[in-house]
């Protein structure tokens, strides 16, 4: 009990900070992130190494995610969750619990997400979250390898004279809308200043992106801005078709937005487990291993010692040393799939989004994914 008291005080300090109340010790950035010099220690699970034990005891992974971003994190009409980020929650559950369905999805807005991670309300945050220096160094958290390389974009309506060649300077006098608690908000404010249009131009923020889209559709916003993946997702699912077809995404990219899972930094074992779940999806794609062929692959490729180790079929496997079962990453691939499968299922050519792989390709295909060797 005595041991728990400081943790409680830290939680309270973070909650106060997240609500924007500057008490001198803690401050919030315009992203709504709790930034504190003395209370950044993670508070959720206490002892290092205990996240895994907590999840195993609970029998369920609690994954913070989006519920309003089709293709990444979305709550379907029947209450189920879908999306690229959601599948990474499932892959971690498969690795840790042997069951990709053992996940409780906790929908979070951008402004809520970091407090939920810090207080231990969630085990991991996978919600189109950009890896930045502030978030990496002041929130008591770390990032897993990037799963989606993105960049910030802007969209407006063709009927108002915009097209894909439009620039930030063309937004002089406009109302530009986005959601609060994001890197987006910071980047757009910098961009309008650099374009010399800040005096005339308004950046308006909303709690979530559904509100942004509603205001855009109602004509209260001249332009919207967020990660380009988000713009593609929102355009593809906008109704009615006349509005959807009128939305144009500018060619310009305002920033780098490397998106990936985020976890508390007090528990290195947990961080390794999440990191290697991500690497395993890359390695599986490198080898052409899929959920459908993994058993045949292991049976037919006894000389691929790396695969035999990573998927738990060899004596010198490394997963048990990480606190997992030997077949942890076999389960992740068997039940959820390789990076390519996760990508195609949610964003690929057969989906309404059809997002080109671009930077989100393996190094052997000209992209940025270069997983370390599993040895
Ligand atoms: N990647 C950026 C932006 C994340 C973000 O919140 N994006 C918006 C638009 S793609 C979103 O997810 N909106 C859904 C919501 O807030 O409910 C960040 O980490 O700050």
> Residue 182 C-alpha to ligand 1 middle, in angstroms?
6
The DSSP symbol for 196 reads: T
Q: Is 358 exposed, middle or buried (0-12, 13-18, 19+ CB in 10 A)?
A: exposed
Enter the tokens of residue 209: 């992106």
Ligand 1 atom nearest residue 182's Cα: 20
Q: Is the CB of 68 under 6 A from ligand 1?
A: yes
Ligand 1 atom nearest residue 231's Cα: 10
Q: Which domains are seen in the chain, by residue range?
A: 1-41 (no CATH), 48-149+257-375 (3.40.190.10), 152-255 (3.40.190.10)
User: Which residues have CB under 8 Å from 86's CB, separation 6+?
Assistant: 63, 65, 72, 73, 74, 105, 126
Ligand 1 atom nearest residue 150's Cα: 1
pLDDT in tens, the chain (375 residues): 333 333 333 333 332 233 222 222 233 444 544 433 223 444 444 566 799 999 999 999 999 999 999 999 999 999 999 999 999 999 999 999 999 999 999 999 999 999 999 999 999 999 999 999 999 999 999 999 999 999 999 999 999 999 999 999 999 999 999 999 999 999 999 999 999 999 999 999 999 999 999 999 999 999 999 999 999 999 999 999 999 999 999 999 999 999 999 999 999 999 999 999 999 999 999 999 999 999 999 999 999 999 999 999 999 999 999 999 999 999 999 999 999 999 999 999 999 999 999 999 999 999 999 999 999
The DSSP symbol for 371 reads: P
Please give the C-alpha separations between residue 99 and each of 56, 63, 137, 252, in angstroms, as whole numbers. Answer: 11, 14, 33, 42
> Residue 188 C-alpha to ligand 1 middle, in angstroms?
14
Nearest CA among 233, 235, 315, 259 for reference residue 85: 259
Q: Is the CB of 120 under 6 A from ligand 1?
A: no
Q: pTM for the whole thing? A: 0.89
The pLDDT of residue 37 is 28
Which of 184, 229, 249, 260 gets mutated to test ligand 1 (max ligand atoms within 8 A of its CB)?
184
Q: Is the CB of 143 under 6 A from ligand 1?
A: no
The pLDDT of residue 95 is 98
> Residue 363 C-alpha to ligand 1 middle, in angstroms?
27
Preceding peptide of 240 cis, ω within 30°: yes
> Residue 107 C-alpha to ligand 1 middle, in angstroms?
12
The pLDDT of residue 31 is 52
């Amino acid at each position: 009990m005595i041991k728990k008291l400081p943790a409680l005080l830290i939680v309270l300090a973070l909650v106060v900070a997240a609500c924007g109340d500057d008490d001198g010790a803690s401050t919030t950035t315009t992203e709504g992130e709790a930034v504190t010099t003395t209370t950044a220690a993670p508070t959720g699970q206490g002892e290092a190494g205990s996240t895994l034990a907590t999840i195993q005891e609970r029998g369920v992974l609690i994954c913070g995610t989006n519920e309003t971003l089709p293709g990444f994190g979305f709550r379907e009409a029947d209450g189920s969750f879908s999306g690229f980020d959601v599948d990474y929650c499932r892959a971690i559950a498969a690795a840790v619990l042997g069951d990709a369905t053992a996940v409780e999805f906790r929908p979070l807005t951008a402004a809520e997400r970091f407090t939920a991670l810090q207080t231990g309300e969630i085990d991991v945050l996978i919600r189109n979250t950009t890896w930045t220096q502030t978030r990496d160094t002041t929130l008591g958290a770390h990032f897993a390898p990037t799963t989606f390389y993105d960049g910030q974009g802007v969209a407006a309506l063709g009927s108002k004279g915009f097209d894909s060649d439009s620039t930030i300077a063309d937004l002089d006098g406009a109302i530009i809308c986005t959601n609060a608690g994001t890197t987006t908000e910071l980047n757009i404010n910098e961009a309008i200043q650099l374009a010399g249009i800040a005096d005339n131009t308004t950046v308006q923020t909303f709690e979530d992106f559904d509100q942004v889209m509603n205001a855009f559709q109602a004509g209260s916003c001249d332009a919207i801005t967020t990660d380009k993946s988000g713009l593609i997702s929102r355009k593809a699912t906008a109704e009615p078709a006349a509005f959807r077809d009128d939305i144009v995404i500018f060619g310009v990219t305002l920033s780098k937005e490397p998106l990936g899972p985020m976890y508390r930094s007090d528990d290195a074992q947990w961080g390794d487990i999440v990191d290697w779940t991500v690497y395993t999806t890359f390695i599986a794609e490198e080898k052409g291993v899929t959920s459908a062929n993994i058993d045949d692959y292991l049976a037919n490729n006894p000389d691929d010692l790396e695969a035999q180790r990573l998927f738990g079929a060899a004596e010198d496997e490394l997963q048990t040393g990480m606190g997992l079962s030997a077949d942890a990453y076999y389960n992740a691939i068997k039940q959820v799939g390789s990076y390519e499968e996760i990508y195609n299922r949610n964003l690929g050519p057969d989906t309404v989004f059809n997002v080109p792989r671009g930077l989100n390709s393996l190094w052997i295909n000209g992209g940025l994914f270069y997983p370390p060797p599993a040895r």
